[in-house]
Amino acid sequence: MNDLPSWLKVKAPSPQAVEGIRIVRDILDRHRLTTVCQGALCPNVVECWGAHTATFMLLGKVCTRACRFCAVPTGDPGGVVDQDEPTHLAAAVAELSLSYVVLTSVDRDDLNDGGASLFAKTVSKIKEHSPTVRVEALVPDFSGKEEALAAVAAAGADVIGHNLETVRRLTPHLRDRRASYDLSLKVLNRFRVLVPRTITKSSLILGMGEQREEILTALRDLHDVGVKAVTLGQYLQPTKGAAPVARYLSPEEFDELGENAKEIGFRSVIAGPLVRSSYHAAKLFTECSG
């Protein structure tokens, strides 16, 4: 499916947005930081960087897992970790005058804790440097290790997210063999137990071959483990070797699924063709906190 429908075509950035992107890129380069906007080829990079905001990707640019829908390079980072990354990131957040920050990361199965300690340290550093900033930690599954989940839970993030990504039937075909549908639900439920007052969040990527009833079942499963906010977006094939797009959902279909999610009981839902898990993250936090 090579021809994109009109609703997936992104407009060229305005001169003001281009300048905003340049400023953000300069700050990121100076602090040696990576954003998911770059690493995962996010379609909203112009909108977000133009507004001086970014989702930061911790723990390097190489992921130890190989999900078939992801653009992030796969390999073996060899246990290398930049221990100064939390300090650099906290400084960049202050310099960008952000009020809401999303932290995510590659999977690091080469580390005993999956990188959870660095995640927790980064949340703490940001809060230390910018006490009023809201922080969302969008985390991998850490192989379900209790100590890793507890470390992130105790760090003080305002939102903890973990993405289910797809429906149960497609999970073995699309996600890395070390990930699983039930493990993701277990991780989300564990955060609900560990920090019951913290907002939990998840995301589904659609258009990879799932059926409507499977989407609704996945949404019910997420709601049952305490997830309060959910995003639904269109899958776009990032590389030739990635899984092909099965179909493009229309904006009207996304609107309907968004309404279904609200009927299931989610406090906040953002659904649309170009929506990604960190899109309008501050809006979701506000709606869940109200």
**pLDDT tens digit sequence for 161-204:** 999 999 999 999 999 999 999 999 999 999 999 999 999 999 99
Considering the entire predicted model, what is its pTM? Answer: 0.91
CB atoms under 10 Å from CB of 24, counted, come to 22
The pLDDT score that the predictor gives to residue 41 is 47
Q: Which two tokens stand for residue 146?
A: 């209790």
pLDDT digits (tens, 9 = 90+) for 204-230: 999 999 999 999 999 999 999 999 999
pLDDT digits (tens, 9 = 90+) for 80-116: 999 999 999 999 889 888 888 999 999 999 999 999 9
The pLDDT score that the predictor gives to residue 14 is 65
Residue 58 has pLDDT above 90, yes or no: yes
pLDDT digits (tens, 9 = 90+) for 219-258: 999 999 999 999 999 999 988 999 999 999 999 999 999 9
Query: CA-to-CA distance for 207 and 117, rounded, in angstroms?
Result: 35
- Which of these CATH numbers, 3.30.565.10, 1.10.10.10, 3.40.50.2000, 3.20.20.70, describes 12-289? 3.20.20.70
Question: Per-domain residue ranges for the chain?
Answer: 12-289
Query: CA-to-CA distance for 218 and 184, rounded, in angstroms?
Result: 11
The pLDDT score that the predictor gives to residue 40 is 42
The pLDDT score that the predictor gives to residue 30 is 82
The pLDDT score that the predictor gives to residue 59 is 94
CB atoms under 10 Å from CB of 2, counted, come to 6
pLDDT digits (tens, 9 = 90+) for 134-172: 999 999 999 999 999 999 999 999 999 999 999 999 999
Cβ 139 vs Cβ 152: under 8 Å: yes
Q: Which two tokens stand for residue 93?
A: 């957040």
The pLDDT score that the predictor gives to residue 280 is 78
Residue 39 has pLDDT above 60, yes or no: no
Residue 45 has pLDDT above 90, yes or no: no
DSSP string, 9-28: PPPPPPHHHHHHHHHHHHHH
Closest CA to 275 of 223, 207, 228, 218: 207
Return mean pLDDT, the chain. Answer: 89
Query: CA-to-CA distance for 53 and 135, rounded, in angstroms?
Result: 13
Residue 49 has pLDDT above 90, yes or no: no
Place 289 in a pLDDT band, splitting at 50, 70 and 90.
Answer: confident
